[in-house]
Structure 1
Amino acid sequence: MSEKYREAGVNLEAGYESVRLIKDHVARTKVVGAMDSIGAFGGMFDLSLLKMEEPVLVSGTDGVGTKLMIAFEMDKHDTVGIDAVAMCVNDVLVQGAAPIFFLDYLAVGKNEPQKIEQLVKGVADGCVQAECALIGGETAEMPDMYNVKHYDIAGFCVGAVDKKNLLDGSKIEAGNVLIGLPSSGVHSNGFSLVRKVLLKDAKLDLHKAYDDLNGELLGNVLLTPTRIYVKAIKHLLGKVDIKGMSHITGGGFYENVPRMLKEGQGVSIDLTTYPRKPIFDFIAKTGDIPMKEMCNVFNMGIGFIMAVDKNDVEKVQSLLSEIGEESYVIGEVTNSGSVDLTW
């Protein structure tokens, strides 16, 4: 026991207790290739077991952002770990890579083992949804850097894809159809604007239910975890020729869709072709935010987009229906060089 370290604000014993509490959560994320390495200096994964001819590793890292401020206010910590995983795995998925492992980084003002367990439970839940292994992580107790009730969580993901199956947008052509997969809500983007509009300016109550949100507590709606699209896309890969994909994160349609296109290409998207979660209209109405700005910040109800040949649309939607995934034809690729939205 280190009394001087405890006096400085770091409790080593709490750290050991946190590790003990999270072991079962880590264990349920194990997949083929994951090696027992929790507690070692580095997490290990046996790539040879994936049986790829020319494996290419695709990596991504991200955090949850100021959505965490909502979790602090609601004292609800079991879902933001899913967000941390989702923001990373959805990104590597865009290039056709299946996520294989994930590592998390958690910085806290005070190590509270039960809270750490809830956070890592969320990470493990996300890894199970993404069919990837949680092979390591770090919890840093940092008094004076963070308020004792605050923390930050971020993650790092690696995916793998056979080189011949790598998606780089080179196959996308004008006339390709855009199929959108619905989001669960705001996901983990734009929360600085969300908090300003709803909490600072309008002074709404996170613990109150609002009619415009179908009677749900505002805080719970905002904490709805980011959807993970791994199982849906893995169900399609190898069965249909996906030309390109885009994860609709911060920057909305205007910033993210062009990232899958070739020079000079654009898209035409109709936002009336799918049902939109009420939270988006609630934010826009409360903050008097123009629709164009909403579409440049939020996903507006579509979290992931695929470009496919028009002859493959029916097959894609049928395959997704088999596993209970909703999908919508929302537009097409053009040669306009711009993102043209209809609402």
Structure 2
Amino acid sequence: MRACLPPPARLVTQSNPPASTPLTYRDAGVDIDAGNAVVERIKPLVKRSFRPEVMGGLGGFGALFDLSNKYAEPVLVSGTDGVGTKLKLAQQLGRHDTIGIDLVGMCVNDVLVQGAEPLFFLDYFATGKLDVDTAVAVVGGIARGCELCGCALIGGETAEMPDMYAPGDYDLAGFTVGAVEKADLLDGSAVGEGDVLIGLASSGAHSNGYSLIRRIYDRAGRPGTLDLGGVSLEDALMAPTTLYVRPVLELLRGHGAGHGKPIHAMAHITGGGLTENIIRVIPEGLGLDIDARAWPLPPLFRWLQTEGAVADSEMWRTFNCGIGFVLIAARQGVAALEASLDAAGIGHWQIGEVVPAGTGQRVRIG
């Protein structure tokens, strides 16, 4: 775990030392000792995320996970993602401790859509010159995100690649594997006309739309201390992605999902916003009628829309607008689901319903 990749090949030029001069890997820009220091410092953080199924410890060439005693007929569900240009904002503001939670959230919330419990996670951290404190903060956030959703961080890679990144820059990617019993797999086939959309509150923009967010933020003069309902703009922009795993898995265990059960499908509101994500789990011939007045637009999104003069249609297609995850449920099961969400302290609203597709757009928001 967390080996360093070699630097890219470079042409020898006149400015290079003569061939007789001894060179080391550190001379080429890769500090193995720094990589080892990162590993040692993150070990206790990573270990807190382990589950009983994890076999062995850190440092092997492959990570082992024993699935044999947990599922009768398991279906594995995998997902991979990054955090987009929210990374640029994290680097600009020097806030590295929660961006790892965003990375975990983008992956585990995706596999959760099909009813899968995220089992384990692997990360990839790449930079031009390894800064130990920054790397530990980032990977520590990843470990914390895994711990919060019961997903084991069992492997990863730290790549130091000189000349590939500007000073202070780094990149992140993540990969997760979840499992669900075959009989409980959610594929959207149970969705029918009249089903209700229950939107679960987001913590902010999560990790989507940040190319537009950064453009608006820069054009506004980066007013970091601007107050948005008791939260500074910078805090609102960097709020980590909500991890929906534990409460939603609890709903699935308590209420059931699929044909003849309350929850018919689910959707993670990521890139494409409300316009393009929910419809992905809706069968052909059906559409969505979403009432934008059903929930309050959070202050961050109000500021972005006003400051950027962003049209409503662009808002719905770019951002989650306060709804980070959606349950598509049978109408007769909605009251019980909402009672359970209230008990878990999860903000939620009935935001629309499934309707016949009709002609034109399958998704109507108004």
Q: TM-score, normalised by structure 1?
A: 0.95
> C-alpha distance in 1, partners of 2:99/2:138?
7
* Residue-by-residue CA offset, 1:247-298 (whole Å, 9 max, x unaligned): 0001011110111100121111112212322111111111111011110000
Q: Report the Cα offset of residue 174 of structure 1.
A: 0.6
> C-alpha distance in 2, partners of 1:292/1:137?
39
> C-alpha distance in 1, partners of 2:111/2:324?
14
Q: Which residue of 1 aligns with 2:10?
A: none
> C-alpha distance in 1, partners of 2:41/2:167?
20
Does 2:35 match 1:15? yes
Q: Report the Cα offset of residue 36 of structure 1.
A: 2.2
Does 2:257 match 1:257? no
Contact 1:37 1:136 in 2 (8 A): no
> C-alpha distance in 2, partners of 1:320/1:250?
25
* Residue-by-residue CA offset, 1:78-108 (whole Å, 9 max, x unaligned): 0000000000000000000010000000001
1:243 aligned to 264, 267, 291, which one? 264
The residue identity in structure 2 corresponding to 1:17 is A
> C-alpha distance in 2, partners of 1:140/1:57?
28
- The aligned length equals 336
Q: Which residue of 2 aligns with 1:336?
A: 357
Instruction: Give 5+ residue unaligned stretches, structure 2.
Output: 1-21, 256-260
Spell out the pairing of 1:21-170 with structure 2 (5 A cutoff). 21-50=41-70, 52-170=71-189
Q: Report the Cα offset of residue 3 of structure 1.
A: 5.9
Structure having the larger proportion of residues in helix: 1
> C-alpha distance in 2, partners of 1:233/1:217?
29
> C-alpha distance in 2, partners of 1:203/1:326?
32
> C-alpha distance in 2, partners of 1:32/1:228?
21
* Residue-by-residue CA offset, 1:6-53 (whole Å, 9 max, x unaligned): 111110000000000000110100113122241101111101131x22
Q: Which residue of 1 aligns with 2:322?
A: 301
Does 2:224 match 1:203? no
> C-alpha distance in 2, partners of 1:254/1:339?
6
Max radius of gyration: which structure? 2
Does 2:321 match 1:292? no
State the percentage of identical aligned residues: 49
Q: Report the Cα offset of residue 209 of structure 1.
A: 1.5
The residue identity in structure 2 corresponding to 1:209 is T
The residue identity in structure 2 corresponding to 1:230 is V
Measured on the aligned residues, the alpha-carbon RMSD in Å equals 1.3
Of stretches 319-328 and 94-103 in structure 1, the one that deviates more from structure 2 is: 319-328
**SS of match in other structure, 1:279:** helix
The residue identity in structure 1 corresponding to 2:144 is D
**SS of match in other structure, 1:296:** helix
> C-alpha distance in 2, partners of 1:306/1:137?
32
> C-alpha distance in 2, partners of 1:127/1:76?
19
Q: Report the Cα offset of residue 215 of structure 1.
A: 5.1
Q: Report the Cα offset of residue 115 of structure 1.
A: 1.2
Instruction: Give 5+ residue unaligned stretches, structure 1.
Output: none
The residue identity in structure 2 corresponding to 1:8 is A
Q: TM-score, normalised by structure 2?
A: 0.89
**SS of match in other structure, 2:173:** strand
> C-alpha distance in 2, partners of 1:148/1:56?
43
